[in-house]
Amino acid sequence: MAGPRQLRRLLEGVLTIGSDLDLHSVLNRIITTAAEMVDATYGALGVLDESRTKLIDFITVGVDDATHAAIGSLPEGHGILGLLIIDPRPLRLPDLNEHPDRFGFPPNHPKMTSFLGVPIVVRGEVFGNLYLCDKAGGDVFTDVDQELAEGLASAAGIAIENARLHARVAEYATIEDRERIARDLHDTVIQRLFAIGLGLQSTMRLVSDDAVRDRLSSAIDDLDVTVRDVRAAIFGLHSTRLPGRSVRQEVLDLCSESARGLGFDPMVRFDGPIDTAVDDTLADELFAVLREALTNVARHAHADSVEVSIAVRDTTLRVTVEDDGIGPIERGIAGSGGNGVGNMRSRASRLHGDFSIDARDAGGTSVRWMVPLKLQR
């Protein structure tokens, strides 16, 4: 049984790992404290994946960065490490090299002998395992060492759950901040922009100079675009309350990826509740069309700029890709049944939507793809 000194070390360890709320810091503190508490030369904390069949993270102490680099990839849970995954019970070995399930060390790995492994359980599920090797002085790990490691593992489970809850609370706080910002944008910024626009429209009636009227008209148009952009930002802030796939973010990622072929970043505009209105099935269709449209621009348009617009209005998803290149006729695609254009047209038809590709008045090409949302299941 552990004596007063060992119990004091356990208490100190529990207080140490429980003093941090960041999960990564908690995991580092757990394995560092465990190694110090049982006088282990080496220690590791293996985190299991969701299937509880292999390791997805492996945090170590006692191995320097150079040795880490020389060893290479981290273990996934084979051999003796895998025993604790299959059978999550404490395991103590005087010499792990003599165990029949020993998997062997990779090249450049330090030689290790004595071994102590203990599972970490969080809410009845195994979160990971503590692996401790080579007790100081060449001794083997004792019953007391195992008791201390088990006690620390129990406290570690509570600390891990606490860190997870803290992260969730922080996430909720962020969502509340986003909701507040969205309300402020809607109630203050948009209303002021509307008021400015109405004021400019009233002023136009008092102006006879055509140049001044043109400037005022251009300013009003810019305000309309700004209002749409602010509304899109509001929808983006609201959509963060729902975890999972973000169509907006995937559109931005796709456009960013296309910049390598285009030679510049496309301008992207959103209008409406994109993330909540577009389901996964329609999102896949959207990405296929957008990728094809941007690829066509990169290969054939010789454009200097591209604007991508994704809008949800009423019951319709509208995708527009406009460039300032040589135009559809010069590119030989106006009304074309080529594979790329044909695929975009067939996707629209299959979803009971519309597809068009036209020359822009200012030069370049406008691709429009529209499908109804109400037909999506």
> Angle CA(167)–CA(74)–CA(53) in degrees, nearest 5?
70
Domain with residues 243-372, CATH architecture: 2-Layer Sandwich (3.30)
Taking the C-alpha atoms of residue 10 and residue 149, their distance in angstroms, rounded to an integer, is 8
C-alpha distances out from residue 361 to 232, 332, 366, Å = 27, 18, 10
Is pLDDT at 376 greater than 50 in this prediction? no
Domain residues of the chain, as ranges? 4-168, 243-372
Taking the C-alpha atoms of residue 263 and residue 43, their distance in angstroms, rounded to an integer, is 49
Centre a 10 Å sphere on the Cβ of residue 369 and count the other Cβ atoms it contains.
25
Is pLDDT at 105 greater than 60 in this prediction? yes
Taking the C-alpha atoms of residue 180 and residue 317, their distance in angstroms, rounded to an integer, is 28
Is pLDDT at 303 greater than 80 in this prediction? yes
Rounded-to-10 torsion of CA 15, 17, 18, 22: 150
State the distance between the two ends of the chain, measured CA to CA, in whole angstroms. Answer: 63
Taking the C-alpha atoms of residue 219 and residue 200, their distance in angstroms, rounded to an integer, is 8
Please list, residue by residue across 57-68, b when 16 or more beta carbons sit within 10 angstroms of its beta carbon and e when fewer do.
ebbbbbbeeeee
User: Taking a C-beta distance cutoff of 8 angstroms, is the pair 43, 32 a contact?
Assistant: yes
User: Taking a C-beta distance cutoff of 8 angstroms, is the pair 40, 57 a contact?
Assistant: no
309's enclosing H/E stretch is strand 306-313
Is pLDDT at 374 greater than 70 in this prediction? no
- The 10s digit of each residue's pLDDT in 256-300 is 888 888 888 888 888 888 888 888 889 989 999 998 899 889 888
Look over the chain and give the mean of its residue pLDDT values, rounded to a whole number: 79
pLDDT value for 134: 93
Q: Given phi > 0 = left and psi -120 to 50 = alpha, else beta, which region is 323?
A: beta
What CATH code would you report for 4-168? Answer: 3.30.450.40
Two structure tokens written together for 182: 């969205």
The residue among 331, 235, 345, 329 whose CA lies nearest residue 285 is 345
